[in-house]
Amino acid sequence: MQRKGELAEARMLAERLRKEVDDLRQQKGGREAPASAPANPPAADELDRSVKRLAAEQRKLAHRLEKMLDAPPAETSLAPETLSPIVGTLGELQKDIAALRRERRKDLADQAKRLEEMAAEIQAARAAVESSPKAVRSAARKKGEPERVGVFIDVQNMYYAARQLKGKLDFDALLAASVLDRRLIQATAYVVESKEIDQSGFIAMLQQRAIEVRRKTLKVRSDGSMKGDWDMEMALDILDMAGKLDVVVLVSGDGDFTSLVKRVKGMGPRVEVVAFPRSTAKSLLEAADRFHPLDRRAMIRTIETGGHEGEGAAKTEPPRGATPPETEPLTGVK
């Protein structure tokens, strides 16, 4: 824009000088110059030189303007200090992603190892059944003796099932419904613990009822997700005990145990499922030999106290995967 302004001024000056030159020439042609006057006055020569100089300057300015218009726009660049925060953030994200990938690979490797161990146990049990069914059913029950029962309790599954009915499970009623008039060989409860919650009272209550408690700590991943279940361990324990039992009682409504139920039935024992009907998978019901539905008679009702925590009051929900502490037990005693 500055060059355009200079060019316009130069053109105006050149035009003015041309007019002055034309006026001088007309005056010169209108009258005869004195004999003593020179043939070409100094003023006219000076004007001619000025006009030529201005014309040359005008051409230079026009050429420079053309080059400026034809030149590509200058590339904009960001200063290094502007990009440094972005580069730092990207570096941190890459580190977090790499850490998550390592953790995922480790989890997958652990799961693969557990699956291999479980497959080996199942294969060994199958071979034992096919080779010698009597060896699997060691110490066969004599005629007239009560049936031998093993009870396996998925505490996490039963807690959330009871909570849907706004109550807590009564373990005395649960054992009575599971054992009936038979002989209890083993009762095992599988508990997932959280480091932030004290469940010692709840576990002591289970042990007072001759229930073996197996405990696992809830694992919290770096991305906030939680991991804590006993499915595979329960399956392995049930397969190990199947040869010593006449009836396996599975206290859970989880449909993931359907294949296990079919496998145990093939080994000899009957399989009974004890759970709340509304939270029991249809596939598990169809696979079991018998289903014992739990109702409100097997529960202790919780009482809403308007936000004050008292005896029997509903408390804050624990993390999924963890059994509740003594202040909010999964079950209670009448």
Please give the C-alpha separations between residue 118 and each of 159, 234, 237, in angstroms, as whole numbers: 26, 11, 10
CA neighbor of 301 nearest in space, from 293, 310, 312, 311: 312
User: What does the block give as tokens for 45?
Assistant: 């020569």
pTM of the model: 0.51
DSSP state letters, 163-211: HHTTEEEEHHHHHHHHHTTSEEEEEEEEEEE-TTS--HHHHHHHHHTT-
How many CA atoms lie within 13 Å of 270's alpha carbon, on the beta-carbon side?
A: 11
299 located within any domain: yes
DSSP state letters, 294-313: --GGGEEE-B--TT---TTB
**What pLDDT is attached to residue 140?**
64
258 located within any domain: yes
Is there a contact between 188 and 181 (Cβ–Cβ < 8 Å)? no
How many structural domains are present in the chain? 1
* Crossing angle of the two packed helices 80-131 and 231-241, in degrees rounded to 10: 10
69 located within any domain: no
Q: Which domain holds residue 225?
A: 148-332
**What pLDDT is attached to residue 208?**
92
Is there a contact between 326 and 199 (Cβ–Cβ < 8 Å)? yes
31 located within any domain: no
**What pLDDT is attached to residue 320?**
36
209 located within any domain: yes
User: What does the block give as tokens for 188?
Assistant: 């095992």
User: What does the block give as tokens for 39?
Assistant: 């043939």
300 located within any domain: yes
List the pLDDT tens digit at each of the 334 positions of the chain: 776 777 777 778 878 888 888 888 787 766 555 555 555 556 667 767 777 777 787 778 777 777 777 776 666 666 667 777 887 888 888 888 999 999 889 989 988 988 888 888 888 877 776 665 444 444 566 777 899 999 999 998 898 888 888 888 889 989 999 999 999 999 999 998 877 778 888 889 999 999 999 988 876 666 655 556 778 899 999 999 999 999 999 999 999 999 999 999 999 999 999 999 999 999 999 999 999 999 888 887 655 444 333 333 334 344 333 344 433 444 443 3
List the CATH number of the domain containing 266: 3.40.50.1010
268 located within any domain: yes
291 φ, ψ (degrees, to nearest 5) = -120, 125
**What pLDDT is attached to residue 193?**
84
128 located within any domain: no
**What pLDDT is attached to residue 221?**
60
Is there a contact between 250 and 238 (Cβ–Cβ < 8 Å)? yes
Identity at 149, one-letter amino acid code: V
